[in-house]
Chain A
Amino acid sequence: MDYYLQILLIVGIFITLTLSLNLINGYCGQFSLGHAGFWGAGAYASAIYSSFYALPVSTPINMAIACLVGFLAAALCGIIIGVPCLRLKGDYLAIATLGFGEIVRIIIMNTELVGGPRGFINIPHWANIYWIYAVALVVIVFMINLKRSTYGRAIISIREDEIAAENMGVNLFRYKLFSFIVGAGIAGVAGALFAHTQQFLHPSNFNFMWSVIILVMVILGGQGSVTGSVIGAIVLTIFPEVLRFIGGHASDWRMPIYSVLLIVLMLARPQGIFGAHEFSLSKGRKS
């Protein structure tokens, strides 16, 4: 049973992470390859709070503070990387964020306070599955509402055409930075939840490969689609586990099969499963 619970926990955390990257990548069109860096910064910052500076209040309040610490730490990283790098475009921004994500990991590796390469142990078990899904739900509602708000429409206009958006009076830098900071901050909250359910953090949890996996979830679901992100996160977390269950050769070859499926899906449907649309019961309504 623990195994299924663990998968459910990871699915919930990845839903939050995918939605946060969807804000940067799907809504705003800024290609970021360093999302695991924000996730890691939030996880480690909140774990430092709970292990060394925890206040004498009840556990739920403390967990809320830990989430806030994670949010602030990751958002601060978002400002540090966003202010200088957001004038870069496309591939160059992707590489700069990739470099940033790796730098976060290397700094963690070299910090003795958080265990360095041995990992951070004995983090209190404050969060549980209800926390994770409550946060995921809040983020889903926030993202859907953001998409229909003035801010959201301005951000989406940047994705569609930067020059045209600028001509219409959209302050490019401000909206790009907004999506970067909020996206990073939400990834930090996901990190705080991850730290307080797993109770153990290791720098290799936050390497480049995980940034790629989160990005693939966004792209597979469809950039800019909330439902797409949620489904991308669920499918791509559960799929390798299903292959594990089939056993025999499928179990050995599950990672190659996973990558082949990714390639085939990109060839067949480059815009992702949902494209930019939302799944909705009333047909024909686009948001």
Chain B
Amino acid sequence: MSEDTIYFLWDCLQYLINGISQGSLYALVALGYTMVYGIIRLVNFAHGEFLMIGAMCGYYVLKANLPMPIAILAAMLSAGTIAVIVERLVYRPIRKSGRVPALITAIGTSLFFEYSGQLVFGADPKTIPPFIAEKIYNFGDVNVSNIQLAIFAITIFVLLFLWWLTHFTKIGKAMRATSFNLQAAELMGINTNKIISFTFFLGASIAGLGGMLMGYTMSIEPLMGLNLGIKAFVAAVVGGIGVIPGAALGGFIIGIAENMVAGLYKSSYRDGVSFFILILILLLKPSGILGKNVKEKV
């Protein structure tokens, strides 16, 4: 191999590692999308805004000189609480009106939080310090930071936690039953309203966690939720919406593809590649990579 080829491969490996780290963050946000969609078939456009609110709360807790773990906890709890309130006040009454009004309501909620966020928090970008002191390890020509490793480890931990929750606890089984068939679950004595609230809380608090971890790569601002939310949603659809491992897989795919394109071709196409993958997946397998095919009945 010539020297150029070897450098090229090292570069690719570096982009792959950066991509996995960024993909982990997308996966954390996509999990909330996919859980909510799985249970009430609602594309929750306000999910990115829950993340923004969590990150903002974490920022102010850190500003009050409290330690990082408390800030992360505050971010998760605030995002989760806001999500439950929104579900109770807005999404629950609209649920019976059909999917299009629900979607419009979700978009309205998203707009509300974006613009109120600009007035309440100010439009200036804020920075969250990394959650642990950064250390960079070198393997040959590739740099890996301990933060990247920690983000990946946290994502895997969250995934394992969700797998345990949905398969081995009572509330998790109720969640799966509700997402399988809401009416039947209700007839079996499951309090579906409570389960839906819990799903919103869980998804949004994971998004809040993702928001805090993001301080490493980007600054936080009130409009961050829109773009991030759309990308996470794309990740959820690519992996197969409604399927929890699918969201993680989609997140990794989008993260890696973005970093590869930005590094090897042109960084201005970074946002385009995720949509390109999305359309490709929708054409080849509309239910997503890990999604189940649902037959249409008359």
Say whether, besides A100-B275, A102-B271, A263 and B112 are in contact (CB < 8 Å).
Answer: yes
Question: Taking the complex as formed, is A212 at the interface, i.e. its CB lies under 8 A from any CB of chain B?
Answer: yes
Knowing A100-B275, A266-B105, say if A85 contacts B112 (CB, 8 Å).
no
- Among A59-67, A70-78, A87-95, A186-194, the stretch that binds chain B is A87-95
Among B100, B114, B234, B278, the one with the most A-chain Cβ atoms within 10 Å of its Cβ is B100
Compute how far the CA of A258 lies from the CA of B239 in the bound complex, rounded to whole angstroms. Answer: 35
> Which residue of B43, B105, B116, B272 is within 8 Å of A103 (Cβ)?
B272
Question: How distant is the Cα of A183 from the Cα of B286 in the complex, in angstroms?
Answer: 24
- The CA of A209 and the CA of B93, in the complex, are separated in Å by 25
Q: Are B275 and A102 in contact (CB under 8 A)?
A: yes
Further contacts, 14 of them, CB under 8 A, given A99-B276, A216-B107? A31-B100, A85-B282, A96-B278, A98-B230, A103-B272, A117-B268, A256-B112, A256-B119, A259-B112, A259-B115, A262-B108, A262-B111, A263-B90, A266-B94
A-B pairs with beta carbons under 8 Å apart, 18 shown: A96-B278, A96-B282, A98-B275, A99-B234, A99-B282, A103-B279, A106-B268, A110-B269, A117-B268, A209-B226, A215-B104, A253-B116, A256-B115, A256-B119, A262-B111, A266-B104, A267-B105, A270-B98
Chain B residues positioned under 8 Å from A95 (CB to CB): 43, 233-234, 237, 278, 282
Contact yes or no, B275 A212, CB < 8 A:
no
B283 x A85 contact (CB < 8 A): yes
A267 to B105, CA, bound (A): 8
Tell yes or no: B292 within 8 A of A by CB.
no
Please name all residues of chain A whose beta carbon is closer than 8 Å to the beta carbon of B93 when the two chains form the complex. 267
Decide yes or no whether A241 CB sits under 8 A from chain B: no
User: When chains A and B are docked, how far (Å) is the Cα of A109 from the Cα of B268?
Assistant: 8
Q: Count the A residues whose beta carbon is within 8 Å of the partner chain — how many?
A: 41
CB-CB under 8 A from B268, the residues of chain A are 106, 109-110, 117
**B135 neighbours in A (Cβ, 8 Å):** none
When distances are taken between beta carbons in the complex, the residues of chain B under 8 Å from A106 are 268-269, 271-272, 275
Which of the listed residues A88, A117, A270 has the most CB atoms from chain B within 10 Å of its own CB?
A: A270
Closest B residue to A272 using CB positions: B101
Alpha-carbon gap, A90 to B77, bound state (A): 33
By beta carbon, the residue of chain A nearest B283 is A84
* Interface: B188 (CB within 8 A): no
Residue-by-residue, is B106-141 near A (CB-CB < 8 Å gives 1, otherwise 0)? 011101101110010000000000000000000000
In the bound complex, residues from chain B placing their C-beta under 8 Å from that of A90 are 99
Main secondary structure of the interface of A (DSSP, over half): helix
* Residue numbers in B under 8 Å from A256 (CB-CB): 112, 115-116, 119
Q: Is there a chain A Cβ closer than 8 Å to B65's Cβ?
A: no
Within the complex, which residue of A92, A259, A271 is in contact with B109, where a contact is CB–CB below 8 Å?
A259
B112 interface neighbour in A96, A215, A252, A260, Cβ under 8 Å? A260
With most chain B CB atoms within 10 A of its CB, the pick from A95, A96, A106, A212 is A95
Q: Tell me, yes or no, whether A208 is within 8 Å of chain B by CB.
A: yes
| Beta-carbon nearest neighbor of B118 in chain A | A255
Q: Which residues of A contact B64 (CB under 8 A)?
A: none
Q: Are B279 and A99 in contact (CB under 8 A)?
A: yes
Report the Cα distance A96→B226, complex, angstroms: 17
Residues on B with C-beta less than 8 A from A267 are 90, 93-94, 105
Q: Does A17 contact B (CB under 8 A)?
A: no
CB-nearest residue of chain B to A106:
B272
- Separation of A208 and B115 alpha carbons in the complex (Å): 16
**Cβ-defined contact, B282 with A92, below 8 A:** yes
- Residues in A whose Cβ lies below 8 Å from that of B94: 266-267, 270
